[in-house]
Amino acid sequence: DRYPEEVDLSSCEKEPIHIIGVTQANGVLVACEKDTGKISQVSENCKEYFGIPAESLLGSGLESILEEDHIKKIFQAIKEEGVFPIEETKLNGNRFIVIPHTTSENLILDIEPIKDRTSSFEFQKELSSILNTLNASEDSQSLCEDAAKITKSIFGYDRVMIYKFDEEWNGKVIAEELNQGMESWLGLQYPASDIPKQARQLFLKNRVRTISDVNYSPVKILPQLSPLTNSPLDLTNSKLRGVSPIHIEYLQNMGVGASLTAALISNGKLWGLLACHHYKPKFINYYQRQTCEFLIQIFSNELSLKSSNNFLVNIEKLDELRIKLISQIHQENSIKKGLSSQSTKLTDLIKCSGAAIVLNGKIKLVGETPGKKEIKKLTREFLAKKKDSLFFSNHLSNFFPESQNFKNTGSGILSLRLGQSERDFLIWFRPEIIQSVDWGGNPENKATYDQEKKRLTPRKSFEKWTEQLTGVSDTWKDFEISGARKLSESVSYVILENQKKEIDTLN
C-alpha cells in the first residue's frame, strides 16, 4: 500500500485530455485533410453506424459519406473562413447530422444519428423564454436560481446545479433544481482538484460538454496517430471527445449516468459551471446544445453586467468617503488626525474591526486591532519585505504564523504601503469569524493511488463532511480592495506634497 502523502494531485493536471485518442459512442468522428478532403482518421464505430468498415473509409474522399453539394459547401466555408453548414446525410438507411470544425491541419466531422427532431417552433419558444427569464432576474443569486430552473425545464436532467468557483478554484453549489425526493447538494463545496486546470481551460474553448452515457465503451480513433502530423488528433472542439477514465470513475462513484456541463463566464474569466446530472444515459442533440450555448451566453452577459454595476455602485460610495477623509487631512494638517479623529474615520471606508496608520514606523490605531508591538512586528518582518505594495488575506496566519496570537482582531488584513517607503502603511483588520465548510466528501481523501490501474482514483464517498475553519475572517471584496488602493494613492500624494513643502521651506 502507498502512503497518502504519495498521492500527487498535480499529476491530474498533466493528463492530456484533448488528445485522448478515443471518442464517445453516440456518433462517428471523421477527420480528413483540410485541403483535399481525403479521410485520414475515423472512429472505429463507423462500421456499426454507416455499415462501412474503417479500412474502406481511410484514404477515400468525403464523397463516400456526403453528397457532392454538401462537400462543396463545407470547403467553401473553409476557404472563406465562413460559417459551416449544418446538414444531414443519409447512410445505411439512417439519417445523420454532420457538424464540421477545423484544427490547424484537419477538417473534423462529428456525425451524429438523428433520433428526434425539435420543431423550429419549440426552438423559438425555448430561446425566447430563456431570454425573458434571465433578463428579468434581479440580482446574481436569482439569476443563478432562474438559470437552474429553466435548464431543468428545457432539458429535463434529474439534477441541475450552478457551481461557482472561488479564488483557489474550489467550487460550491449555489443554486440547484432536482427531482422530488433527491438529496440536495446546495451549499456543498468541492476541491479544485476535482476539475483540474486543463479541464477548466477546455471550457473556455468548447463551452458545452455532454457525456451521454457514463458507462459507454470508449471508441478508438483509427489510426491513433494522424498521418498528417504523426501525433494524436486534437479533439478540443469535438463534441464526441472521449472522457478521462478518472472522471468517468468519479461520476460512477456519484451514481451518475449522463452529464451536461457548460461554462459560465464573467468578464472573460471562467466564473462557474452549469452542471447537470442524469441518473440514466441521456443524449442531447445538436439543436439542444445550441439552445444551451444560447442560455449560457445570456447568463454570462447578465452576470458580467450585474457584477460590473454592483462594483460601480459600491466604488462610488467609497469615492465619497475618500474625498471626505482627504479633506479632513487637509483641515487637520495631519494624516493621522485626519484619518482618525473626525466624524469620518479610516475604519468607515471598509467593513473592518479596526485599522492602523503607520507613518515613519509610528503607529496610530483606530477601533479594535492587534497591539502596537504586534503590528510593528507584522510590518517590519512581513509587510515591508513584500514586493507589492498591496497585501490582503482572509487567513493571515497562512503567511505570517505569529498572527495566530491575535486572530481575534487580525485573522484578515488588507494592507497598502504608502509611496515607496517601508515604514508607512495603512492596514485594515478583520476578526476571526467562526465558520465551517460543508465539503462534498472528506477533502483529505480527494483521491488515492490505485496500484492495479497505476493511476489516481477519485474518492468513493461524496457525503457531506463538515470542516471547522479557524483563524479565518470574511473575504475582502474587489471593490474594497480597489477603494483602499485609491485612498492609499491619495494619502501618498499628501505625503509627497508635505515633503516638497519641507524642502521648499528649507530652501
Interface with ligand BLA in residues 17-46 (CB under 6 A):
17
Looking at the Cβ atoms of 187 and 227, the one nearer to ligand BLA is 187
Interface with ligand BLA in residues 174-193 (CB under 6 A):
185, 190, 193
How far apart CA 43 and CA 64 sit, in angstroms, is 15
The stretch near ligand BLA (CB under 6 A) out of 12-20, 28-36, 132-140, 300-308 is 12-20
How far apart CA 187 and CA 184 sit, in angstroms, is 9
- Cα dihedral sign, 400-403-408-414: negative
Q: How many Å separate Cα 28 from the centre of its chain?
A: 30
Q: How many Å separate Cα 460 from the centre of its chain?
A: 24
For the window 412-441, what string marks contact with ligand BLA as x by the rule CB under 6 A?
Answer: ----------------------------x-
Q: Which of 49, 216, 250, 479 binds ligand BLA (CB under 6 A)?
A: 250
| Residue pair 450/459 in contact by the 8 Å Cβ criterion | no
Q: How many Å separate Cα 106 from the centre of its chain?
A: 29
Q: How many CB atoms lie within 10 A of CB 136?
A: 11
Instruction: For residue 8, give the 3-state DSSP assignment.
Output: coil
Residue whose entry in the numeric block shows the C-alpha cell 530652501? 507
345: which DSSP letter?
-
Q: How many CB atoms lie within 10 A of CB 164?
A: 19
Rounded to a whole number of angstroms, the minimum distance from the CB of residue 233 to ligand BLA is 15
Rounded to a whole number of angstroms, the minimum distance from the CB of residue 146 to ligand BLA is 20
Q: Which of 32, 62, 107, 199 binds ligand BLA (CB under 6 A)?
A: 199
Instruction: For residue 45, give the C-alpha cell.
Output: 464505430
Q: Is 469 exposed, middle or buried (0-12, 13-18, 19+ CB in 10 A)?
A: middle
Residue nearest to ligand BLA (CB): 12
Interface with ligand BLA, residue 339, by CB under 6 A:
no
Q: How many Å separate Cα 136 from the centre of its chain?
A: 24
Cα distances (angstroms) measured from residue 163 to each of 173, 187, 262, 276, 467? 5, 10, 10, 10, 20
How far apart CA 285 and CA 117 sit, in angstroms, is 9
Q: Which of 74, 208, 246, 426 binds ligand BLA (CB under 6 A)?
A: 246
Rounded to a whole number of angstroms, the minimum distance from the CB of residue 207 to ligand BLA is 11
Looking at the Cβ atoms of 276 and 349, the one nearer to ligand BLA is 276
Interface with ligand BLA in residues 460-479 (CB under 6 A):
none
Interface with ligand BLA in residues 380-409 (CB under 6 A):
none
Helices 120-136 and 140-155: crossing angle in degrees, nearest 10, is 160
Q: Which of 32, 243, 359, 427 binds ligand BLA (CB under 6 A)?
A: 243
Say how many residues touch ligand BLA, by CB under 6 A. Answer: 29
Interface with ligand BLA, residue 164, by CB under 6 A:
no
The stretch near ligand BLA (CB under 6 A) out of 195-203, 332-340, 394-402, 476-484 is 195-203
Looking at the Cβ atoms of 172 and 430, the one nearer to ligand BLA is 172
Rounded to a whole number of angstroms, the minimum distance from the CB of residue 10 to ligand BLA is 9
Cα–Cα nearest to 184, from 477, 488, 505, 464: 464
Looking at the Cβ atoms of 274 and 426, the one nearer to ligand BLA is 274
Q: Which of 109, 233, 275, 366 binds ligand BLA (CB under 6 A)?
A: 275
Interface with ligand BLA, residue 209, by CB under 6 A:
yes
Q: How many CB atoms lie within 10 A of CB 15?
A: 17
Interface with ligand BLA, residue 157, by CB under 6 A:
no
Rounded to a whole number of angstroms, the minimum distance from the CB of residue 89 to ligand BLA is 27
- Cα dihedral sign, 134-138-144-150: negative
How far apart CA 175 and CA 145 sit, in angstroms, is 5
Interface with ligand BLA, residue 458, by CB under 6 A:
yes
Interface with ligand BLA, residue 207, by CB under 6 A:
no
Looking at the Cβ atoms of 208 and 363, the one nearer to ligand BLA is 208
Q: Which of 261, 379, 393, 415 binds ligand BLA (CB under 6 A)?
A: 261
How far apart CA 314 and CA 320 sit, in angstroms, is 10
Alpha helices by DSSP H, listed for 333-363, are: 335-340, 346-349
Looking at the Cβ atoms of 211 and 329, the one nearer to ligand BLA is 211
Q: Which of 65, 160, 175, 195 binds ligand BLA (CB under 6 A)?
A: 195
Interface with ligand BLA, residue 111, by CB under 6 A:
no
- Measure the CA angle with vertex 83, ends 237 and 263; round to 5°: 40
Looking at the Cβ atoms of 177 and 432, the one nearer to ligand BLA is 177
Looking at the Cβ atoms of 7 and 78, the one nearer to ligand BLA is 7
Interface with ligand BLA, residue 240, by CB under 6 A:
no
Q: Is 150 exposed, middle or buried (0-12, 13-18, 19+ CB in 10 A)?
A: buried
Instruction: For residue 88, give the 3-state DSSP assignment.
Output: strand
Interface with ligand BLA, residue 456, by CB under 6 A:
yes
Rounded to a whole number of angstroms, the minimum distance from the CB of residue 321 to ligand BLA is 40
Q: How many Å separate Cα 358 from the centre of its chain?
A: 38
Q: Which of 236, 244, 252, 297 binds ligand BLA (CB under 6 A)?
A: 244
Instruction: For residue 214, give the C-alpha cell.
Output: 457514463
The residues of the shown chain that bind ligand BLA, judged by CB under 6 A, are 12, 15, 17, 161, 171, 173, 185, 190, 193-196, 199, 209, 211, 243-244, 246-247, 250, 259, 261, 273, 275, 440, 446-447, 456, 458
